[in-house]
Structure 1
Amino acid sequence: MKQNKYDDSGFFDKYSQMPRSTRGLEAAGEWSTFRSLLPGLHGKRVLDLGCGFGWHCRYAREQQAESVVGVDLSANMLERARAMTRDPKIQYLQMAIEDIEFSKEEFDTVISSLAIHYVERFDDLCRRIHHCLKPGGEFVLSVEHPIFTALAAQDWFYGPGGEKLHWPVDNYHTEGAREARFLDHDVIKYHRNVATYINTLIESGFTVTKLSELQPTKEMLEQNPAWQEEFRRPMFLLMAAVKH
């Protein structure tokens, strides 16, 4: 199933008002961790899957990447990305992440931020990424943590006074689609456990080099005390891998 919720005007309007949409990477709490997983991008050919407004694409060029291709299914996303980009070395393509068919060893680095949990077949996508990466090329991705996606409700269990008692986890090993509520709209996300993410990367020809469950830092808590909740359960899973 290939979703395109971002071309729904109501959904897109709400997404456009989020801090990460208006202020970019520095407003994304997981950005500092994601950035730490990235290799040096100087002179690299970079592919960004689920590029959205193009924030990561422009960052790669700021790091002197040779060229960047951003892929997204949403025309609304790409229209905004192009309007915010003045760089001929960044190319935006409208297509589903699942449909990429680039040439063998076309890229040095592939990145994807908070998009792959919308993709049904992670194994097929990994094979496509492995094909278009050069040997020794890096794949860096972030997804919603499986503890976060296990239950479709994606919400706390509340006490009688509205207090957040705990984060419920159920059907963790039952992988597949979950209809979740995001920005007042129903969206389909695909739940996979941690082992599936890691083993699929390994079986697709990658060596996993780093894994993060994003424990909040002192700086994150100073900027936004709400990050304290992330000590109770992880929201993000970030991984870095290298093609054999």
Structure 2
Amino acid sequence: MRQNIYDDPTFFEYYKKLRSTGVTFNDFIEQPALKALLPDLQGLNVLDMGCGFGKLALAMVEKGAEHVTGADISSKMLSLAPKIPQITYIHAPMEELNFEAESFDLIVSSLAFHYVADYDRLMVQIAKWLRPGGTLVFSTEHPITTAKLDMEGWIEDEQGNRLHYAIDNYGEEGQRSTHWVVDNVIKYHRKVSTLVNGMIAHGLIVQQIEEPESIPEGLEKMPTLVHERRRPSFILFKAVKS
């Protein structure tokens, strides 16, 4: 069974409240970077894998996408997603999606691939579903942050000042378990080379890699985001099907 922490009542209420603030790592780091990697959306047929509340799907429609298919494992999140004719939602884990070959001009995913156990199979499917010349854009937690087996990286002094970030177990790919609001949140650690080579192996040409820092507004509203220069939280990729 796929893990679905987003339908856990405690986690969902916390996450919904957090995202509603508009003052998060997503708002100031990940989403600006991801949107900057998107191609011209005019007339595109798009698949959003792990679409959550549907905010990105809506934004892509507003930028000219002809249709967006949003898929997510969480029924609670999909229940709050905007319902408009240009967006179709599928309630399913991304590992169980099935589409005809060459169905999409663009496949996008925001911070969801680190929940998938079989990355290679995911890339096989994405390469199949993309039309020739189609684009993949995705973000994932940076391997620096997922490497340590205990996933606790910052080393602090007695006053709580961050001294440095510890990296260990980087080459030991696989499952990690962490506490994030609830216990035993499962993620999967992969090296940067694994992420890149997984695309190359299936005919996806990597065009751009980003390790973003905060936009200026984020540094004003969340001063601790200055630490992103010391250790990036996210890594993003843009690739095109050959």
Amino acid at match of 1:135: P
The number of aligned residues is 240
In 1, Cα distance between equivalents of 2:59 and 2:207: 22
The within-5 A match list for 1:86-125 is 86-125=83-122
- Write out aligned runs for 1:167-206 (5 A): 167-206=165-204
The gaps in structure 2 that reach 5 residues or longer are none
1:157 aligns with 2:155: yes
Residue 75 (structure 1) shift: 0.8
2-structure distance, mates of 1:16, 1:155: 26
Question: What SS does the corresponding residue of 1:200 show, helix, strand or coil?
Answer: helix
Aligned ranges 1:41-56 → 2 under 5 Å: 41-56=41-56
TM-score (normalised: structure 1): 0.93
Q: Which residue of the partner structure matches residue 227 of structure 2?
A: 229
Equivalent in 127, 140, 159 of residue 130 of structure 1: 127
How far off its partner does 1:227 sit?
Answer: 1.1
Question: What does residue 60 of structure 2 align with?
Answer: 60
Structure 1: distance between partners of 2:158 and 2:21: 36
Partners of 1:198 and 1:208 within 8 A in 2: yes
TM-score, normalised relative to structure 2: 0.94
1-structure distance, mates of 2:21, 2:223 = 20
Q: Mean Cα displacement is larger for which, 27-36 or 162-171?
A: 27-36
The letter of the residue matching 1:239 is F
Whether 1:142 aligns to 2:142 is no
Identity of aligned residues (%): 43
Give the secondary structure class of the aligned counterpart of 2:124: helix
Secondary structure in 2 matching 1:17: helix
Question: For residues 31 and 203 of structure 1, what CA distance do their matches in structure 2 show?
Answer: 27
CA RMSD of aligned residues (A): 1.7
CA distance in 2, matches of 1:216, 1:161: 25
Q: CA deviation at 1:219?
A: 4.3
Give how far 1:167 is off.
Answer: 1.1
Runs of 5+ consecutive residues of structure 1 not aligned to the other structure: none
Structure 2 distance, partners of 1:44, 1:199, is 27
111 and 21 in structure 1: CA distance in 2 versus 1, 3 angstrom threshold: farther
Q: Is the 8 A contact 1:113 1:143 kept in 2?
A: yes
